[in-house]
Amino acid sequence: MAYLALIISFVTTILLTPAVKKIAVKIGAVDYPNQRKVHKKVMPRLGGLSIYISFVLWLIIFEPSNVYIWPLIVGGTIIMAVGLLDDLYELSAKVKLLGQLAAAVTVVLGGIQIDFINLPFDGKLEFGMWTIPITILWIVGVTNAINLIDGLDGLAAGVSAIALLTISGLAITMGNSLAIFAGLILLGSTLGFLVYNFHPAKIFLGDTGSLFLGFMISVLAILGFKNVTMFSIIVPMIILAIPISDTFFAMVRRLIQKKPISSPDKLHLHHCLIDLGYSHRSTVLIIYFLSALFGIAAIIFTKATLWISLVVLIALAVLIELIVEITGLIGKSYRPLLNLFSRVR
């Protein structure tokens, strides 16, 4: 049944997206080119609506009685509406944040929370009074991380699909019914949209899609990894390492430059790779590869012994640092690890 949900949602989104494209053009939900953007022509940007419709429709059909389904759908509807309004009217950062907080609070009040994290040797760290703020911070943080990488054709949708494939696969091994069905339905919907969104794109996700995908991935990570035996909060962080790292270093970069954290720039990972001479398509494929690598690392992490898991974490930390230095994600002069390697040679 789970794989049937994947196929049906895939087909549904393929059928819905052309209609959504027409609606986007008709109501003026389009993206105009400017100096910060890579595309050179006006593009419809309401694509996430087809993903949302397919997801909600099939989730209700396949998981109608689950206690978490309505908080998930209501929260997702709020975040989708915020994105849709932004695609139409370009909301301010404060208004978008308020909408994200409203969506996050909805699922938290519905019982979807990070109550604790599992530790090695059967330990457990209870969050107590910090449960709600930590959960909201996680949801809002991941939502914005996916939103911020939506800068090239197929990038955010593809990275989200890789994350959802990993989350769904791990959920299957753990027997988590809602995480399995929600993950696979959202994966199928995202892949169906990617048919139209991969370079050269015919339609963009828009904030309607990137905020919705980020929100849903953050919530599914909470639902799917509560019972992971080792460092449960680290597993989704590994899966989402590329968008989280890109967002984190964007914040660091802006603090160093004494700019507002929400100020836009053209120094995200995909911009840096293009500046290094990679083509649009090659840049997207490189980031897909890195996302898949971290997804595989997350799977190894959940199955490995404590010491191997620690080795995996150290290797991933070094890899992230090398990516930052090679691409100039913080700045062209920031190269401590590469300089160290040069001196050793």
Q: Is the peptide bond before 200 cis (omega within 30 degrees of 0)?
A: yes
How far apart (Å, rounded) are the C-alpha atoms in residues 316 and 139? 23
Q: Answer for the pair 18, 12: CB distance below 8 angstroms, yes or no.
A: no
Look-up of token digits 């840049």: 283
Work out the burial of residue 46: count CB atoms within 10 Å of its CB; fewer than 13 is exposed, 13-18 middle, 19 or more buried. Answer: buried
How far apart (Å, rounded) are the C-alpha atoms in residues 163 and 183? 9
Task: Check whether 207 is labelled as a binding-site residue.
Answer: yes
Return the structure tokens found at 43. 């593009």
How far apart (Å, rounded) are the C-alpha atoms in residues 79 and 63? 21
Task: Check whether 147 is labelled as a binding-site residue.
Answer: yes
Scanning 28-153, the segments in alpha helix (DSSP H) are: 48-62, 69-89, 93-109, 131-148
Q: Answer for the pair 12, 54: CB distance below 8 angstroms, yes or no.
A: yes
Q: Which residue positions form the known binding site?
A: 147, 207
Q: Which residue positions form the known binding site for Mg(2+)?
A: 147, 207
